Structure 1
Amino acid sequence: MMSLDYKLLDALAKVVELQNFDLAAKHLFITQSAISQRIKSLEESIGQPVIIRSQPIKVTSAGETLLSHYRMVQQLENEMLPSLLPNAPTEPLKVSLAINADSLATWFISALTPILSRYLVELDLIIERESVTLEKLKNGSAIGAVSSIAKPLSGYRSFELGEINYILVASKSFQQKYFANGLTTESLKMAPGISYDHKDDMHTRFISKHFNLAASEYYCHTVRSSEAFVELAKQGVAYCLVPELQIKNELANGELINLCPQKQLIETLYWHSWILVKGVNKKISEEIVSYGQKLLGNS
């Protein structure tokens, strides 16, 4: 039975992480030809390619499987070693989590604060749309993820956190300028909205459902920041769909107004983590689930 050579998996992980064979070789203190040989040996051992040698370097399906396995082994090792060593850890535990921008802007940091206060953790937050964060688990980039997808990947489990209520908002001056006679298909065609990126369909789904307008019939700024969504709306230069949780103060003091109180978009969020998660990583998952369910379950 074939066994995996973790020296080869380490080479694969570094090449994918750094997107450069030379940099990966320097990181591992070997030559570029040596790291190329390690990748080749890994591919020969499983009988198929693990990366696509392009710019950027892409991982094949087999490569994703190997990387996911390697990250899990690293996770177990990181959890095990502190319990074997006599002294407190001198290096932080590296934890990569995939999270959507809206959760990061509203509740996620508060969920992690107890862990960051108690343990030596080096956090890497990977910001992605909630519909694709599971890809980061699949390719081994993250050990946990907030997602709008309920079904877990093989070897993972999911927990329902609760719901985020999205509402359409703008400043009073913006409403008077563009929607003085109400939100209509004609007024929406002329008013600048905001979307996260070209793949973000939340805004387009809302407008399509409630106003029967296709994305090509109106225009949106592209802004990859939830906080910037709110700031642009407050400045009176755009309207946007944002979590009600994020703008409670602005709604209360009148800086922003709900443009259509009878219409909303509700997204259910789930936390996904490895079934065998232990130690600090398990505590991270427990804190996220506990805080998320407490806040979003009652929102």
Structure 2
Amino acid sequence: MRGLDYKGIEALHSVIEQGSFERAAEQLFISQSAVSQRIKQLEKFLAQPVVIRAQPPKPTPVGKKLLALYQRVTVLEQELLPELLNSDEQRAVQLALATNADSLATWLIPALTEVMKHRHVELNLSIYGEKRSIEKLKSGEVAGAISLESQPITGCRADYLGRMDYVCVASPEFIQRYFSDGVDQSALQQAPSVSYDKYDDMHKTFLQEHFNLARESVVNHHVSNSEAFVRLATSGIAYCLIPKLQIQRELEQGDLVDILPGFLVTYRIYWHHWQLETGVLQQISTAIIEYAREHLPQ
């Protein structure tokens, strides 16, 4: 039985990564028609399309599976080739991982420190919402992802990491201005808040479930940076939900105050990764799982 043509899969990966057939041709040092021909041959072999020819091109469900396969083969090749060629010139193993902003701002870098110091690895840490990161693993764009989803996708594992506990905080100045009579529906309608981006529904859910308020009825800034959340809060610009792990010092020093004592928004997070891992990727998964289980609330 004839196997897959990896030149076709490489062309597919380049088209999706570069966002066009033209730029893929430049990356692969071949003509645009050659890129198109390789993909057409792959589609002919599979008897179904692998790419949606839109602007930008997008992978079909089958295309996503091929991209995930390509990612795995590339990682294995990067680790194995120096050994097979008996070469001392080992290229860094390139790995893309999907993380949420709050994990990156708090515990993920310490978890990866030893691996990054002692292994020849080049990481691309991309930030996505906890609900979107799993899609990047499905599409083959990343080799591992932090997600709220507890169920693994085909060919992968989902290991429990721990809890991310969020507290609702504001500066003393902000509290005096907006919450001097307490935190209620009326006060929240006047007080500016902040969310990460349009995909972040944490604050929306918080307002709807606990105060019967629509997010559209309040001032809600969008700031796609976890550290900026802290600065907005300590500056008295807005109140927000922030991981307790991130603001221990500010709470202890009184720069921020928990405006709803005893109240937490809790998310359980999971590390999604390939079932069959070797080398540096296996070490990364082990480091993430062990560090998170030691330092995050369980």
Q: Name the TM-score class by shorter chain.
A: over 0.9
Q: Percent identity?
A: 47
The equivalent residue for 1:56 is 56
Cα offset, 1:204, TM superposition: 1.2
Which residue pairs with 1:130 in the alignment?
130
Closer, same or farther in 2 for the Cα pair 1:240/1:89, shift >3 Å?
farther
After TM superposition, give the deviation of residue 249 of structure 1 in Å.
0.7
Partner SS state of residue 150, structure 2: coil
The unaligned stretches of length 5 or more in structure 1 are none
Cα drift, residue 85 of structure 1: 4.0
CA-to-partner distance for each residue in 1:191-241, whole Å, 9 max, x for gaps? 111111112111111222221212222221011111111111111111110
| CA deviation map 1:147-194 (0-9, x unaligned) | 111100011011111111101111111111111111110110111111
Q: Deviations over 1:254-283 (max 9, x none)?
A: 111111012110111111110001011100
- Please say if 1:293 is aligned against 2:266: no
The answer (yes or no) to whether the contact 2:164–2:297 under 8 Å persists in 1 is: no
Match of 2:27 in 1: 27
Aligned residue for 1:224, secondary structure, equals coil
Shift of 1:2: 3.9
Q: Secondary structure at the match of 1:167?
A: strand
One-letter amino acid matched to 2:167: I
Amino acid at match of 1:68: A
Pairwise CA distance, 1:83: 3.1
CA offsets 1:17-53 (integer angstroms, 9 cap, x no match): 1112122111111111111111222222212221112
Alignment of 1:65-76 (within 5 A): 65-76=65-76
Normalising by the residue count of structure 2, what TM-score does the alignment of the two structures yield?
Answer: 0.97
Structure 2 counterpart of 1:141: 141
Deviation at 1:57, TM superposition (A): 1.8
Partners of 1:293 and 1:56 lie apart in 2 by 40
Distance in 1 (CA, whole Å) between partners of 2:100 and 2:217 is: 27
Structure 2 matches for 1:249-268, cutoff 5 A? Answer: 249-268=249-268
Change (3 A) 1:290 1:296: same
- SS for the counterpart of 1:160 is strand
SS in 2 for 1:98: strand
Aligned position for 2:236? 236
Conserved in 2, the CA contact under 8 Å of 1:210 and 1:263?
no
Distance 1:232 1:284 in 2: 33
Name which of structure 1's ranges 50-59 and 155-164 shifts more when overlaid on structure 2: 50-59
Q: What is aligned with 1:179?
A: 179
**Higher alpha-carbon deviation: 62-71 or 277-286:** 62-71
- How high is the TM-score relative to the length of structure 1? 0.96
CA distance in 2, matches of 1:261, 1:43: 58
Residues 196 and 223 of structure 2 are in contact (CA less than 8 Å); yes or no, is this contact kept in structure 1?
yes
Aligned partner of 1:103 in structure 2 is 103
Aligned to 1:155: 155
Whether 2:40 is the aligned partner of 1:40: answer: yes
**Partners of 1:242 and 1:230 in 2: CA distance:** 8
- What are the superposed Cα offsets for residues 108-147 of structure 1, whole Å, 9 maximum, x if unpaired? 0011110010011111011100112111110001111111
1:88, distance to aligned residue in structure 2 (A): 3.6
Gaps of 5+ in 2: none
Contact 1:169/1:242 (8 A) holds in 2: yes
Quote the residue 1:13 is aligned against: 13
CA offset digits 1:81-121 (Å, max 9, x no partner): 23334344431100110100000000000111100100111
Q: How far apart, CA to CA, are the structure 2 residues paired with 1:9 and 1:87?
A: 27
CA distance in 1, matches of 2:83, 2:150: 34
Structure 1 residues 14-23 or 277-286, which shifts more? 14-23
Total equivalences in the alignment: 298
- Cα displacement (A) at 1:293: 0.6
User: 2:281 maps to what in 1?
Assistant: 281
- 1: distance between equivalents of 2:2 and 2:219? 56
